[in-house]
Amino acid sequence: MNSSIVRQNFLDFFRNKGHEVVPSAAMVVKNDPTLMFTNAGMNQFKDIFLDNAPVKFKRIANTQKCLRVSGKHNDLEEVGHDGYHHTMFEMLGNWSFGDYFKQEAIQWAWEFLTDVMKIDKERIYVTIFEGDQSEGLDRDLEAYNYWNKLIDENRILPGNKKDNFWEMGDSGPCGPCSEIHVDIRPDVERKALDGKMLVNKGNPRVIEIWNLVFIQYNRRVSGELELLKNKHVDTGMGFERLCMVLQNKSSNYDTDIFQPIIQEIASLTRIDYGKSENTDVAMRVVADHLRAVAFAIADGQLPSNAKAGYVIRRILRRAVRYNYTFLEQNKPVIYKLMPALLSTMGEAFPELKSQWQLIEKVIYEEEQAFLHTLETGDKRLKESINTLKNEKKNALSGKIAFELYDTYGFPLDLTELILKENNLAVNRQEFDQAMTEQRNRSKSAAAVESADWVMVRPDGSQGEFVGYDRLHAEVRICRFRKLKTKDKQFFHLVLDQTPFYAESGGQVGDTGYLDDGEEKIRITNTFKEHGLIIHVAEKLPQDVSQVFEAVVSGKARRETANNHTATHLLHHALREVLGKHVEQKGSLVNADYLRFDFLHYQKMTEDEITAVEILVNQKIREGIERKELRETSMEEAREMGAMALFGEKYRDRVRVIQFGDSVELCGGTHVDSTSQIGLFKILSESSIAAGVRRIEAITGGKAEAWYRNLEKKMNSVEQLLNSPQDVKKAVETLIEEKSSLQKQVERYAREATHALKEDLLKKVHKAGDYNLISAVLENTIGDPGIIRDVAYQLRGEVGDLFLVIGAVVGDKPHLAVMIHDNLIRDKKLHAGEIIKTAAREMEGGGGGQAFFATAGGKNAAKLEKAVGKAVEMFRKAVEEE
Site of interaction with RNA (CB under 7 A): 304-307, 310, 313-314, 317, 369-370, 372-373, 376, 403, 405-409, 435, 438-439, 441-443, 445-446, 688, 785, 788-789, 792-793, 814, 832, 844-849, 852-857
Could you tell me which of 99, 130, 107 has the C-alpha nearest to residue 215? 99
Tell me how far, at minimum, the Cβ of 607 lies from RNA, in Å.
23
Three-state helix/strand/coil letters over 824-871: HHHHCCCHHHHHHHHHHCCCCEEEECCCEEEEECCCHHHHHHHHHHHH
Tell me how far, at minimum, the Cβ of 462 lies from RNA, in Å.
27
Tell me how far, at minimum, the Cβ of 851 lies from RNA, in Å.
8
Beta carbon nearer to RNA, 188 or 306: 306
Residue 755 CA to residue 493 CA, distance in Å, equals 82
Beta carbon nearer to RNA, 207 or 689: 689
Beta carbon nearer to RNA, 445 or 721: 445
Residue 790: φ, ψ to 5°: -60, -45
Where do runs of H (alpha helix) occur along 541-584? 554-578
Tell me how far, at minimum, the Cβ of 223 lies from RNA, in Å.
21
Beta carbon nearer to RNA, 669 or 854: 854
Residue 616 CA to residue 681 CA, distance in Å, equals 9
Beta carbon nearer to RNA, 73 or 439: 439
Tell me how far, at minimum, the Cβ of 652 lies from RNA, in Å.
34
Tell me how far, at minimum, the Cβ of 379 lies from RNA, in Å.
7
- Residue burial 630-643, b: 16+ Cβ < 10 Å; e: rest: eebebeebeeeebb
Tell me how far, at minimum, the Cβ of 487 lies from RNA, in Å.
10
Tell me how far, at minimum, the Cβ of 446 lies from RNA, in Å.
4
Pairing mode of beta strands 594-599, 584-589: antiparallel
> What's the full length of the chain, in residues?
881
DSSP states of 28-51: B--S-TT-SB--SGGGGGHHHHTT
Q: What angle do CA 300, 305, 308 make, to 5 degrees?
A: 45
Beta carbon nearer to RNA, 630 or 828: 828
Tell me how far, at minimum, the Cβ of 425 lies from RNA, in Å.
21
Residue 656: φ, ψ to 5°: -115, 135
Beta carbon nearer to RNA, 31 or 793: 793
Beta carbon nearer to RNA, 227 or 306: 306
Beta carbon nearer to RNA, 18 or 785: 785
Beta carbon nearer to RNA, 665 or 834: 834
Tell me how far, at minimum, the Cβ of 375 lies from RNA, in Å.
8
Q: What angle do CA 349, 355, 359 make, to 5 degrees?
A: 110
Beta carbon nearer to RNA, 665 or 823: 823
Asked whether the beta carbons of 180 and 192 are under 8 A apart, the reply is: no
Asked whether the beta carbons of 829 and 819 are under 8 A apart, the reply is: yes
Could you tell me which of 508, 529, 501 has the C-alpha nearest to residue 32? 529
At 520, which helix (H) or strand (E)? Answer: strand 520-529
Tell me how far, at minimum, the Cβ of 160 lies from RNA, in Å.
27
Give the burial class of 472: count Cβ atoms within 10 A of its Cβ; 0-12 exposed, 13-18 middle, 19 or more buried.
middle
Tell me how far, at minimum, the Cβ of 704 lies from RNA, in Å.
24
Where do runs of H (alpha helix) occur along 587-641? 606-621, 634-639
For the chain, what is the largest distance between any 2 Cα atoms, rounded to a whole number of angstroms?
119
Tell me how far, at minimum, the Cβ of 855 lies from RNA, in Å.
5
For helices 831-840 and 863-879, the axis angle rounded to 10 degrees is 140
Could you tell me which of 817, 827, 820, 828 has the C-alpha nearest to residue 869? 817
Beta carbon nearer to RNA, 200 or 511: 511
Tell me how far, at minimum, the Cβ of 685 lies from RNA, in Å.
14
| Total Cβ atoms within 10 A of residue 593 | 18
Tell me how far, at minimum, the Cβ of 73 lies from RNA, in Å.
13
CA separation (Å) from 290 to 345, 350, 579, 598, 858? 12, 17, 30, 23, 69
Beta carbon nearer to RNA, 259 or 837: 837
Tell me how far, at minimum, the Cβ of 372 lies from RNA, in Å.
6
Residue 524 CA to residue 544 CA, distance in Å, equals 18
> Does residue 208 sit in helix, strand or coil?
strand
For helices 727-761 and 784-797, the axis angle rounded to 10 degrees is 50
Asked whether the beta carbons of 717 and 697 are under 8 A apart, the reply is: no
Pairing mode of beta strands 124-129, 88-97: unpaired
Tell me how far, at minimum, the Cβ of 304 lies from RNA, in Å.
7
Beta carbon nearer to RNA, 244 or 286: 286
Beta carbon nearer to RNA, 369 or 764: 369
Beta carbon nearer to RNA, 272 or 375: 375
Beta carbon nearer to RNA, 441 or 708: 441
Q: Which residues pair with 627 in a beta bridge?
A: 658
Tell me how far, at minimum, the Cβ of 434 lies from RNA, in Å.
9
Beta carbons within 8 Å of 49's beta carbon, 6+ residues apart: 42, 168, 172, 173, 215, 232, 234
Side chain identity, residue 25: A
Residue 70: φ, ψ to 5°: -155, 160
Beta carbon nearer to RNA, 114 or 397: 397
Beta carbons within 8 Å of 789's beta carbon, 6+ residues apart: 753
Residue 395: φ, ψ to 5°: -130, 135
